[in-house]
Amino acid sequence: MTLLCEPYLLDPQPDGIHVLWHTEQVGRCQVVLVGVDVPRLTEQQAYAAATGPAESGDGWRRFAAETRPLSRMREDAESSVPGRTYAGVTPRRVYRHLARVGGLPAGRTPYRVVSVDDGGHATVTATYSLAPAVSPGRPVRLLLTSDHQLMPMVPANLATVGETAGTALDGVLMAGDMVNVPDRASDWFDSTRRPAFFASFAGRAAGRWPGASILPNTPLYPAIGNHEVMGRWSATGSLEEQFNDPQPGDWDVTTYAELFPVPRSDAGGPRWWSRTIGDVHLISLFATAVWRSPKLTGRGKFQEAAEDVDHPRRWGNGQFIFEPVARGSAQYRWLVNELASPAARAARYRVVMFHHPSHGLGHHSAPPFTDPVPTVRPGGISYHYPLADDHILRDVEPLLDEARVHLVLNGHSHLWNRFRNAAGVHWLETSNVGNSYGAYDVTSGRSRGLPDGYVQHGDPGGLAPIVPTVAPLAGPDGTALPYVASNEITVFTLLDTADGLVRSYRFDTVEPNATAVLFDEFPLDGA
C-alpha cells in the first residue's frame, strides 16, 4: 500500500505520542513498530512483526492504528493529482490511521510504520524517531512558522531548517494557513503543481529542494488560520469557490479537526487548547477572520456588490470573525482560566499562538480584528471596522500582559516582523515563505491603500517595529529594514529555551550556494 504521506507526530504524552498516516484504502494491517532494534529489521522481518501473532519481540513492540475515513476530502478540476483528472468536485477516499504509542522511555526511540493494503502488499517506511513529552521544566527547541500554503519556497525553507537545526526537534509551532483549500486532498498529500504540505515536511517534495523529514520526527502543534476554514458546501462550483463562500454561522473546520484531532481541550476541542512542552506553556487560539478582497468595488471587506444588495445569500458579510475571542465569549473565558492555571504560572516561558496579527506591518493587520459594522443605504451596503474595537488589542492583549506572556506568535501577512509592547510581551510573525503581501512601513514607502480612516502604514496597534539585531536587510538607501517581505528570501525562526533565545534565519533561494543567515536574535526574558 502506498502511503499518501509519511507518518507525522502529534501531542506527545508523559510516556507516549500519537502517530498518524493516510492511505486511499482501509488495508489489512496498519501498525507502528517501535523499539531499539526496529532500524535493523528487513522489510520481510518488519512485515512478519506487523502481521504475526506476537505483539512484541526482541527489541520491538507493535501498536495497531485506529482507522477512519476523512469525511470531506475532495478534488476538482483545479487539482493536480498524479495520473488523474477531475471534471468537477469529486469525493476522494482518504483514510486516517492513528496509533497511540505508549510505554516510551525518556529520549528518542526508533519507529517505522507498516501498512498492508487490501491485496496484501506491504509498505514499510524508513526509520524515524519519536519521544514522549519533554518533562516540565526541561529546555526545548521549537520551530516557529506559518502560512505554508503550498508556496514554492516552502521546501527550500524546510530543507534549510533541517540543515540548520536538524529534523528531530521538540515541536513545530504552526500559526495557521497550512494549505490553500482545506478540503482539497492533494493540497495536503500529493499535489504535482505545487509542494503539498506533508510532502515538504517529510523531505518528499519534488524539485531542487525536497524539504526535510521534520514531521515524521517532530510533533506538530497547529493553530487554525483562515485557510483551515471551508465555506458553504455545494454540489456545484469549484472547491476554491466553496472555500471563499463561508457565511457567519455557516463554515466548517472538519478536515482540520480530522487531520489534527489532538492536541485538544475540553472547552474547545482541537480548535483551541494548551500544552506544556518542557519549560514552555503553549496556548493555541482560534483567532482568525474570513479573507475578503480589499478592493473598493464588488463583494469585499468594505462593501457588498451593488448587484447583490437584494440577494442576501450572495452577500459576503464583510471580513467577519469565525470564532469569537472577545470578552465574554467561550474562548475568552477559557483563556482567562488557562492563563491563571498552575501549569501556565509555573512555566518558565508562556507562548500564545494564533493566526491574526493585530500587531504587524503587513497588509492583513488592517482593518482591525473586529466585527464589521454595516451601513445600509439605497443601493449599497458598506462595512466599517473601528480600531478601538479590535478584539485582540482591546480584550486579549491586556490578558496576555497581565499574565506576563513572553511571546505571541502570529501569521497571515507572509512576512517577518516583530514588536515588544510596554508590558514586555514580544509579538512575532515569521511567515515569509513566498507570496508576500509586502510590508507597510515608513522604510518601505508603501501604504496599504485602504479607505480613509484606517492605518495606512506601520502597526495599527501603535508599536514600533524592531530592526533585526544581527544582520538586517537594507533598503535602497542603506536603511536597515525592520522586516523581511520577499518572494526570494525565505525566513524561519527557532526558539531555544536552553539559552532563552529566539533566533530568526533567512535564506536566499536565488543564490545557488547560499546558507542560512542568522539575522535576528533576542532573549525572551529581556528586551
Structural domains of the chain ordered from first start: 1-133 (2.60.40.380), 141-289+322-363+389-523 (3.60.21.10)
* pLDDT tens string 67-80: 999 999 999 999 99
What kind and span of H or E run contains 96?
strand 95-101
pLDDT of residue 235: 72
pLDDT at 512 over 80: no
Band (234; pLDDT cuts 50, 70, 90): confident
Of the candidate ranges 85-89, 164-168, 196-200, 367-371, the one whose mean pLDDT is the lowest: 85-89
Q: How far apart are CA 521 and CA 527, in angstroms?
A: 10
| 303 grid coordinates | 462593501
pLDDT at 1 over 60: no
Band (198; pLDDT cuts 50, 70, 90): very high
Name beta bridge partners: 97: 21, 67
pLDDT at 314 over 80: yes
Rounded average pLDDT over 23-33: 97
* pLDDT tens string 321-363: 999 999 999 999 999 999 999 999 999 999 999 999 999 999 9
pLDDT at 233 over 70: yes
Closest CA relative to residue 147, chosen from 173, 169, 168: 173
Rounded average pLDDT over 82-101: 96
pLDDT of residue 526: 63
pLDDT of residue 228: 98
pLDDT at 146 over 70: yes
Band (479; pLDDT cuts 50, 70, 90): very high
The answer to whether 123 and 1 are in contact (CB under 8 A) is yes
Closest CA relative to residue 42, chosen from 30, 24, 60: 60
Of the candidate ranges 224-238, 401-415, 485-499, the one whose mean pLDDT is the lowest: 224-238
Q: What is the DSSP letter of 213?
A: B
pLDDT of residue 387: 97
pLDDT of residue 527: 52
| Whole-angstrom Cα Rg for the chain | 23
Q: How far apart are CA 143 and CA 220, in angstroms?
A: 10
* pLDDT tens string 458-467: 999 999 999 9
Rounded average pLDDT over 165-193: 98
Q: How far apart are CA 306 and CA 304, in angstroms?
A: 6
CA distances from 491 to 41, 79, 519 (A): 38, 28, 10
Q: How far apart are CA 113 and CA 67, in angstroms?
A: 14
Percent of the chain beyond pLDDT 90? 95
* pLDDT tens string 103-123: 999 999 999 999 999 999 999
pLDDT of residue 2: 86
Rounded average pLDDT over 246-272: 97
The mean predicted confidence, pLDDT, of the chain is 96
* pLDDT tens string 406-439: 999 999 999 999 999 999 999 999 999 988 989 9
pLDDT at 480 over 70: yes
